Amino acid sequence: MSLIVDSITKRFGDVVALDDASFSVEPGRIFGLLGANGAGKTTSMRIVLDILRPDAGTVTWQGTPNTDLPRRTWGYLPEERGLYPRMEVGEQLRFFASLYGVSDADARREIGEWLDRFRIPDYLGRRVEELSKGNQQKIQFLAAILHDPDVLIMDEPFTGLDPVNVRLLKEAFLEMKARGKTLIFSTHQMETVEELCETIAIVDQGRVVVSGTVRDVKRAMNRQVVRLATDGDDNGAAWLAELPGVEVTADRQDFLELRVPADQDPELILRRALERGDRVTRFEISDPSLEEVFVEHVGRRAVSEDEEHLAATSAGAGR
Amino acid sequence: MRDVFPNALHVARREYLFRVRGRAFKVTTALLAIAIVAITLVPTILGALGVADPPHIAVANEAGDIQPDPILTLQAALIAGADPGAAIDGETPDELPADERPRVTPTDDPDAAADAVRAGDLDGVLVISRDAEGELGFEYITSAGPTSQTRALVQAAASSIAIADRLEREGVTPAQQQAVFATIPFEVTAADPSDARDPEDFAGGFILAYAVVILTFMAILTYGNWVAQSVAEEKSGRVMELLITAATPRQLLTGKVLGAGAAGLTQYVVIIAALVIGLVASGPAADALGASGDLPFSLPTIGPVTIVTFAAFFLLGFLLYATLYAAAGSMVSRIEDVQQAVGPLIFLAMGGYFAAFTGLNDPDAGWVQALSVVPFFSPYLMPARMLLTSPSAAEIGLAIALLVAAVVGAIWLASRIYSAGVLMYGQRVGLRTILRAARVAR
């Protein structure tokens, strides 16, 4: 039984934030929610968390509607980070844990363990405002997981982190996955999605344009990517263009990137190159990158970000 | 809807500790306590200073024979002025201890006496003369200003000396004069014996009623504002999204109001303790300074039932306003906008305050009786009426019942506004937008 978001629609005034959006997440998986600013990612998360009610549609987790689930089912890391700046780290985390019904003793033990893991054990008595951005983010993460939620929902968790902290947070993600938790996060960083996510959904203008396993989503593009490098004297573009359906998408310093329709055998390119007597130094067949998939689905639309931001704030929906 | 407790208590506990640990709270409370002790002790200290130096006045009689002796008349007037109670109670001047008794001495040399006034040895010289028609004239030489109490007493005494002298010259004998000016028996009987109040008791009730109204008003404005401020801070600091995920709006709202209210109550307890300390200390302080430590009025005796009723009105009134303050705080995105959002509530609170002040002068007026059961006004008006007149138990019960209903309604409304408002960020969130969002809120 999984998390099922079924035909959710949400309007803020005249703005349609979500339009009949559906996706599902298998338990124990890491799920990526991708979309441009204002696409409806935060609104979807808030609706799953039941802090916002949809105009239509339902959300169920393991068969139970989210309106009937205890709050401790969920852990949430909001995009806009927020903690009490003048409260001490330990006291603050115990407060949030207490709201989820965690006993003080359990909370103290968990906090101690996690601060050790994050290599900041002596921050227990520090005020949050004295901490660096990265360390505040770690505390924010702890506030989301101390009550041991089944589903962890994180809105842009990697934004504003240096590479070391990104690494620590990814390790924490995998630790949570190893404990059998379900993780849902949104991000703009496609490499992170490729690295962590098993399933994704791409949201655009309130609609889920594609969802499923990363492999299926890529295959659904109906094409393959070929990277080719030869020692031929010309740049090779001319003879490649003669091949039916093949398109040169990038002409890099040391290789060409080609787009090949799914119904065509990419090895034809290799054969043709060898026939020409060129020495092939690189030949690689792969699925399109997630970035390509994303741009294909979302990026062609030329919408000013300011316009979207304005629409989102005037609707009072955040992003 | 999930249970309000225990999460509301967790929220309240955090709010309370955060408030009372803050430097602003400690400083304000300490300053208020010091100010209250000082204010309660000042009258005693001033009284002690005044009594320690009773007035000494010289009389230069250049008018010949005056009946009765102007020195005695003046002395009686000064004694009556120094201790108004003595005259009412019919005490004789001799009962004042010698060192507190005003002194009036005759002199033959007004110029020398005037020098003594300038040197500070005398408070004043009263020179009495008689003109060609036989009319008395008075000249008072003093360093005291126009507001001096002694100066006013001397003038009043001069007036009665002159009147007695005129009557004397008209042939009215002192015995006849005494008969004319004898005290008239005047008795007031209350129509309803239960309304019979000692005049000093009534003055005390009046002062207490003012105090109750002012304390209620201050609590609503100050601590209500804490609530709105604190909600807006959580919203602008974005902790709100975390809170609203962990707890329901009703839990957050209730906890916030209870926590800020408890912190406010702590401050009030300190202030009232300071007041009690001040009043208790003013007795020994007065003894030490050699003054009378009596208050100029006596506080009415208040039974435990009345105190519980007052507490109920105070707490329910605070809950009603503070809950709506929380809703107002949830509607703004920036802390600077809080004042604007709570504007209508301040207006309402001030309406009740001014209605109570006007109503105190005529506590039995129909509109005062009617308003004293209306939720937003009853926390001010009903306790005031209870101190000044005798509202029926049914009226008090109705006022409490309506107030409880209003609090329940306010919590319901406020938690809907709250759950819709806390996720709305924008330049200005109108009430209409909020209410539309509140209809679908959880």
- Closest approach of chain B CAs to the CA of A187, in angstroms? 19
Calculate mean pLDDT across residues B417-422: 81
Phi and psi angles of residue A55, each rounded to the nearest 5 degrees, phi first: -75, -30
Please, which residues have CB within 8 angstroms of residue B313's CB and are 6 or more apart in sequence?
B216, B378, B379, B382, B383, B399, B400, B403
Any CB–CB contact under 8 A between A52 and chain B? yes
Chain A residues in contact with B18 by the CB 8 A cut-off are 84, 86-87
CA distance B126 to B361: 42
pLDDT tens-digit readout, B31-60: 989 988 888 777 777 766 655 567 888 998
The crossing angle, in degrees rounded to 10, of helices A133-145 and A163-178 is 10
**CA-based nearest residue to B38, from B342, B281, B247:** B281
- Closest approach of chain A CAs to the CA of B38, in angstroms? 34
- Closest approach of chain A CAs to the CA of B240, in angstroms? 8
Q: Give the amino acid at B112.
A: A
Q: Kindly indicate the confidence band of residue B79, based on its pLDDT and cuts at 50, 70 and 90.
A: confident
Instruction: Give chain B's contact residues with A (Cβ, < 8 Å).
Output: 2, 7, 10-11, 14, 18, 234, 237-248, 419, 423-427, 429, 433, 437, 440-442
Query: Nearest by CB to B14, which of A13, A71, A95?
Result: A95
**Lookup result for tokens 């949400």:** A10
CB B250 within 8 A of CB B416: no
Distance from chain centroid for Cα A54: 22
Average pLDDT over chain B, rounded to whole?
Answer: 82
Tell me: pLDDT of B9 over 60.
yes
Q: In the structure encoding, which two tokens stand for residue A241, read together?
A: 């263009």
What are the CA-CA distances from residue A258 to residues A228, A239, B308 (Å)?
Answer: 8, 13, 85
Query: Nearest by CB to B442, which of A50, A78, A314?
Result: A50
- Give residues 134 to 153 of A whose Cβ lies within 8 Å of B: 140, 143-144
Calculate mean pLDDT across residues B230-243: 88
Q: What is the reported pLDDT for A24?
A: 92
Strand partners, B105: B58
Query: Nearest by CB to A98, which of B10, B242, B425?
Result: B10
CA distance B227 to B246: 20
Query: Nearest by CB to A316, which of B2, B237, B424?
Result: B424
- Closest approach of chain B CAs to the CA of A297, in angstroms? 29
- Give residues 82 to 111 of A whose Cβ lies within 8 Å of B: 82-87, 95-96, 98-100
Dihedral Cα B84, B85, B91, B93, nearest 10 deg: -30
CB A92 within 8 A of CB A140: no
Q: What share of chain A is helix, strand, coil (3-state, %, to 5)?
A: 40, 30, 35
Q: In the structure encoding, which two tokens stand for residue A187, read together?
A: 């991000």
How many beta-carbon contacts under 8 Å exist across A and B?
A: 78
What single string gives the DSSP state of each residue in B220-275? HHHHHHHHHHHHHHHHHTT-HHHHHHHS-HHHHHHHHHHHHHHHHHHHHHHHHHHH
Distance from chain centroid for Cα B440: 47
Any CB–CB contact under 8 A between A123 and chain B? no
CB A34 within 8 A of CB A203: yes
Contact: A84, B242; criterion CB under 8 Å: no
Chain A residues in contact with B440 by the CB 8 A cut-off are 53, 55
- Closest approach of chain A CAs to the CA of B317, in angstroms? 28
What are the CA-CA distances from residue A238 to residues A200, A234, A235, A253 (Å)?
Answer: 38, 9, 8, 17
Any CB–CB contact under 8 A between A159 and chain B? no
For an interface test with A, give the residue of B5, B15, B238, B245 to mutate (most A CBs within 10 A): B245
* Residue predicted with more confidence, B295 or B352: B352
CB B360 within 8 A of CB B388: yes
E strand segments, B82-238: 103-106, 124-130, 136-142
Contact: A76, B241; criterion CB under 8 Å: yes
**CA-based nearest residue to A67, from A44, A45, A55, A49:** A49
ipTM of the complex: 0.80
Nearest residue of chain A to residue B240 (CA atoms) = A82
What single string gives the DSSP state of each residue in B288-354? HHTS----SS-PPP--HHHHHHHHHHHHHHHHHHHHHHHHHHHT-SSGGGHHHHHHHHHHHHHHHHH
Give me the average pLDDT of each 10-residue run along chain A (319 residues): 89 87 92 88 92 90 91 90 90 94 93 90 91 89 93 90 88 92 90 89 89 87 85 66 79 82 84 82 87 79 47 45
Q: What is the reported pLDDT for A99?
A: 93
Contact: A95, B237; criterion CB under 8 Å: no
pLDDT tens-digit readout, B155-211: 888 998 888 888 888 888 878 888 888 888 888 776 666 555 566 566 777 788 888
Q: What is the reported pLDDT for B263?
A: 93
